[in-house]
Amino acid sequence: MDYRQIIVDSIKSDFDKAELLSLVAVPKDTAMADLCIPCFKLAKVLKKSPMAIAEQIAASVDKGDMIASVEAVAGFVNFKFDNMKYGKKVLDEVLSKGENYGHDDEGKDKTICIDYSSVNIAKPFHMGHMLNTAIGAAIYRTYTALGYNVVGINHLGDWGTQFGKLIVAYKLWGNKEDIDKRGVRGLLDIYVKFHKEAEQKPELEDEARAWFKAIEDGNEEALSLFDYFKQITLKEVNKVYDRLNVKFDSYAGESFYNDKMQPVLDELTQKGLLVESDGAKVVKFPNDEMPPCLLQRSDGATLYATRDMAAAYYRKKTYDFYKCLYVVAYQQNLHFKQIFKVLEMAGNEWAKDMVHIAHGMVSLENGSMSTRDGNVVFLEDVLNTAVAKAKEVIDSKNPNLEDKEATAEKVGVGAVIFGMLYNGRIKDIVFSFDKVLNFDGETGPYVQYTYARCNSLFEKCGQIGTEIDYKGIDNESSKEILKLLEKYPETIKESARKYEPSVITRYVVDLAQAFNKFYFEHKINGEAEGIKNSRLMLTKAVQQVIGNGLGLLGIATPSKM
């Protein structure tokens, strides 16, 4: 229900209803009111004091069924709702809609492309990719819940000189049996060895460039090895994606755009944008607002920017997107500003619909990571460690729990995802197992435990009966929960507008905390039947919305912990 609209509709004096609706707010002191209308902006327009306007509005209110009281106080009109009627409406809506509570059709017939994760072929799927993947997947699910047709794109890093380096390394030191057995870890070992050997033998770099040229020219042996490395990588990363509950609709990577770059370069040339600079081809920006965008090297080689330009044209033609989102770390801010500006200069009106969703970096407590030096932490190892630590906690707290392994998987993996998404996406993260697996903090396990607690209440109390007495939720802690439940649909929209999953993450923590406060303040079992049932309804609604929220984040909900 739109309680702001209820308030505005209750006002019978002659005010601009749209303006009043824009003024309705949540008061700083929620003990004073559920919602309020501050009258200070109106005072400037109407040339009256805020106090007089507030009194005029309050006197004209028809309270109807939902509004319990209205009062003019110091230039504010304070509204309180009938807690039992309010509670009934909120709970009925949550429980009737269930898994679809909070969903909307605002995105009907609109397509959003999301480019995220974008792992590199033949390189480890390491901890540094986790933030990008978790943010992109959460945004994917959030926009899907709002009715958009969402296209998840894994823009694979499957092109570049590194493949020439890997072919040289494989031919010198590789062993197919070992690579088949150890996968990307085996490829990483020989890749690191290449860089160490090349310091003493620079001619290896020339060999690598020659092999990459062979890939570009369609050499059969080069393409065979290139495809071999790609299949090994995708086999491994898909196992991790499955554990993270992440899916993609397209794996069109850099190599996909090889035959799509020249038409873009030709168009930019025809429009007088692509010019020569020291033998290379660049686009220069008005007033030198940015460094020139390099699209072709002096040797004719293309770059990331060239392929991203081709990808943008392809995505618009193929999907006719409403928005095209790029979830990429903030180090690429300049890159995307250049790409979007070139598209705009080329006369593409849809360039305004391209959005770079920048995020911070992830490091471990013992430092940062580098593929070239071999200093990486495989994401699979992080997940395995988190799951093992979660199982240790479960063994100590609930040793007789059935299916401990499956629960530990949900808790461990969920803890890692939640830890990535709890803070604003632009912040750098220093990942700590102890922090993310804390069952008492603002963490994934804490929220999951609250969900499981709701489940255990139904095991103790039975299911909701037909006799309902809403006096059972006529108290402050219930009211706090009801307000949060009502806020959930707007929370999803806010998360989507800001491209910020932490809005949902922090919301489910607030809801879990509010429920645990209610749980400790009010009995459920042993109360009169009607009181018990209204409190069970509240419990069921909390469990439903926590489950819905965690689902958008990609986190599973164990029924017992």
Name the token pair of 366.
């013992």
Q: For residue 370, what pLDDT is reported?
A: 52
Cα separation, 134 vs 88, in Å, equals: 36
Tokens 């999907």, residue? Answer: 319
| Residue 348 Ramachandran class (φ > 0 left, ψ -120 to 50 alpha, else beta) | beta
**Helix, coil or strand: residue 126:** strand
Phi, psi of 154 (to 5 degrees): -100, 95
Task: Out of 75-79, 207-211, 364-368, pick the least confident.
Answer: 364-368
Q: Which CATH class is domain 3-81?
A: alpha beta
Name the token pair of 249.
């609709």
Helix (H) or strand (E) holding 82: none
Tokens 């409403």, residue? Answer: 322
CB 404 within 8 A of CB 536: no
Q: For residue 350, what pLDDT is reported?
A: 98
DSSP labels for 326-369? EEEEGGGHHHHHHHHHHHHHTT-GGGGGEEEEEE--EEETTB--
Residue range(s) in the chain whose domain bears CATH number 3.30.1360.70:
3-81
Out of 80, 89, 129, 410, which one is annotated catalytic? 129
Helix (H) or strand (E) holding 521: helix 502-521
Name the token pair of 81.
């709702």
Mean pLDDT for the stretch of residues 344-370: 87
Over residues 192-218, the pLDDT tens digits come to: 999 999 999 999 999 999 999 899 888
Q: Report which residue type is found at 272.
A: G
The sign of the dihedral angle between the CA atoms of 92, 98, 102, 105 is: negative
Helix (H) or strand (E) holding 251: none
Q: 413: how many CB neighbours lie within 10 A of its CB? A: 24
CB 481 within 8 A of CB 514: yes
DSSP labels for 162-226? HHHHHHHHHHHH--HHHHHHHTHHHHHHHHHHHHHHHHH-THHHHHHHHHHHHHHTT-HHHHHHH
Q: For residue 125, what pLDDT is reported?
A: 85
Q: For residue 250, what pLDDT is reported?
A: 96
Cα separation, 296 vs 274, in Å, equals: 10
Over residues 155-199, the pLDDT tens digits come to: 999 988 889 999 999 999 999 999 999 999 899 899 999 999 999
Q: 452: how many CB neighbours lie within 10 A of its CB? A: 20
Residue length, the chain?
561
Phi, psi of 329 (to 5 degrees): -60, 155
**Helix, coil or strand: residue 375:** strand
Q: Is 550 a residue whose pLDDT tops 90? A: yes
The verdict on whether 126 is a catalytic residue reads yes
Mean pLDDT score of the chain:
93
Tokens 């707290």, residue? Answer: 397
Out of 80, 89, 123, 483, which one is annotated catalytic? 123
Phi, psi of 164 (to 5 degrees): -65, -40
Q: Is 376 a residue whose pLDDT tops 80? A: no
Q: Report which residue type is found at 113.
A: C
Confidence of residue 368 (pLDDT cuts 50, 70, 90): low
Over residues 109-136, the pLDDT tens digits come to: 999 999 999 998 888 788 888 999 999 9
pTM of the model: 0.90
CB 472 within 8 A of CB 535: yes
Beta bridge partners of 114: 152, 325
CATH of 379-553, one of 2.40.160.40, 3.40.190.10, 3.90.950.20, 1.10.730.10: 1.10.730.10
Over residues 49-60, the pLDDT tens digits come to: 999 999 999 999
Beta bridge partners of 79: 35, 70
Order across the sheet with 67-73: list the strands: 35-38, 76-81, 67-73
**Helix, coil or strand: residue 467:** coil
Q: For residue 364, what pLDDT is reported?
A: 75
CB 446 within 8 A of CB 436: no
Q: Is 300 a residue whose pLDDT tops 90? A: no
Q: Is 371 a residue whose pLDDT tops 60? A: no
| Residue 363 Ramachandran class (φ > 0 left, ψ -120 to 50 alpha, else beta) | beta
**Helix, coil or strand: residue 78:** strand
Q: For residue 261, what pLDDT is reported?
A: 94
Q: Report which residue type is found at 12.
A: K
Q: Is 375 a residue whose pLDDT tops 70? A: no
The verdict on whether 359 is a catalytic residue reads no
| Strand positions, DSSP E, 201-306 | 274-277, 280-283, 293-296
Cα separation, 313 vs 309, in Å, equals: 7
What sections of 365-443 are H helices per DSSP? 379-397, 404-421, 433-436
Name the token pair of 133.
């993947």
CB 142 within 8 A of CB 182: no
Beta bridge partners of 328: 358
Mean pLDDT for the stretch of residues 9-29: 91
Q: Is 372 a residue whose pLDDT tops 80? A: no
Cα separation, 124 vs 76, in Å, equals: 58
CA angle 525, 528, 532 (to 5 degrees): 50
Decide which of 368 and 204 is more confident.
204
β-bridge pairing 111-115 and 149-153: parallel
The verdict on whether 460 is a catalytic residue reads no
User: Of 560, 559, 556, 561, which is closest to residue 246 (Cα–Cα)?
Assistant: 556
Phi, psi of 354 (to 5 degrees): -90, 130
Mean pLDDT for the stretch of residues 368-382: 67
Q: What is the Cα 547 distance to its own chain's centre?
A: 16
Q: Is 374 a residue whose pLDDT tops 60? A: no
Out of 48, 89, 97, 126, which one is annotated catalytic? 126
Q: 384: how many CB neighbours lie within 10 A of its CB? A: 15
CA angle 452, 454, 459 (to 5 degrees): 90
